[in-house]
Structure 1
Amino acid sequence: MKKEIIVKDNALINASYNLDLVEQRLILLAIVEARESGKGINANDPLEVHAESYINQFNVHRNTAYQSLKDACDDLFVRQFSYQSLSEKGNVINHKSRWVSEVAYVDNEAVVRLIFSPAIVPLITRLEEQFTKYEMQQISNLTSAYAVRLYEILIAWRSTGQTSFILKNDFRKKIGVLDTEYKRMYDFKKYVLDIAIKQVNHHTDITVAVEQHKTGRSITGFSFSFKQKHAENNSLHEHKKRALKLSDAQIKYFSNKLSKLPEMSKYSEGNESYDEFAVRIVVMLKNPVKLKELKPLLKKVGFQ
């Protein structure tokens, strides 16, 4: 399977910003689109993200995807992020910028077209040593925006396997928590940190542990340590290689079989014919996530 790589400058990884889950996914898919299509990223030409890509990558329902992407367009246009750089004299420059300069949703095509703002283009596209790379697959199953942010923050420290001490307020901003949200530490841990750590540990290629730092009885910050799941990942990849794999002929054959199966009715749309439904099932069977989901029904129509 082709690896879809996200590349971000660590200035952006460490930026303070607040994007919800759909907006983060949309940004990442746009980065992948630029890389895989060879278009590159600039401040003039729009990148297209198709709803079909969103559905397949993140395994979400079609109708939910359409509305989520449409809403994300409205919200993303007003989103801002902040980051720091150094002047020629070594002074800290505090920057603020929008993520996109233009964004549009094409109704009848279910396509998002966006243009990144001039400030963010070099942060995404420069390929230097301080950049962090990770595969899209690592965050595909994360359903918490905080988990995505935590994973991004951590892998910037992949060479050491542990972060430095991060002040509580700095960490809240980095992970995308507003000043008005989860003010009590109990709520922050329950609804943000614990969920993020649990999802990263369960769905990604690293296992993370957090250490709380206190001054007196108050928590003043956090540090994290994490390990790579080499053995688990290798066995998982091997399992996937041995797992479901259909030829084009099998996909065509079983898509026709499945289209007539009563249990498949939950996947049908409107008054589409069996042939129309079979065409959509072909797409589903080419998606590893959907293929796994449909395995019991495949066996029911004769797949061994």
Structure 2
Amino acid sequence: MFLIINMRNSNGKINWNIFLGMEYERGLFKFEWIPKFLPHILNLKEKYITNDLTITSKFKSSFTWTLYDFMKGHYGYWHKEMSKVDLLKLFSVEGVSSYKDSAQFKRGVLDVAIREINQYTELEAWYVEKKKGRAIVGFDLHWSVASKQETAATENQLKEITTIIDAVEADMWNYLEELGEMDLEKLHLMNIIQKVLKCRVEVTTTLTSTKANEILQRLKGHLCSLQSQLDDARRKKDITSKPNYVPFYNWLDEHE
């Protein structure tokens, strides 16, 4: 199977197989390009963009992909003024009659893409309408990365997260032992412990300070739930009044 590329010239459309051949041996693929395509490949060496799939996979609209690629492809720009006609062509909706209305185009295409870019990516995007009289004839697209740059999680944040998770993991059998034969309570407690332990996979080398704070808030909420359930169980067992009763170490008190 070969990859087909459609090319257009003044006389019509041309279909090319861009590979002359393909070989596979022991996990290694080898491709041979057609000579006509090689100049295009070599030209791409200095003109390409990379996208983080953990970001782009969150896009719900194909319009967001289009606008995000456009902004990333114009590296060094901070704005780009485009006519409404050119912007319709960019999103490939020039043939959609409803989008000839500017309000519909903004609501169904441009605003959707701008909103998702601001929500999911490192860019902050907005636009300024260009008018001729009362009619919108174009848009000045703006984008910036400066105001949305995230700082990395601090050592203290990482230490606090791992300390809480390690402590719950080390004590989980003691937690379950406290509940004795109370099956429903045990299931609930195990669910909370599982949520705590799952937080460990979120501690990565790219963890941001904002995300670290969000994880800490979740962990502290889980710890409150654990302590509350343990207190209820101990009251039922009437062990809190025993002379040798020692509560589990409360990590929340230390990190307030």
TM-score under structure 2 normalisation?
A: 0.49
Higher relative contact order, chain-length normalized (CA < 8 Å, sep 6+): 1
- Greater fraction helix: 2
TM-score normalised to structure 1 length:
0.42
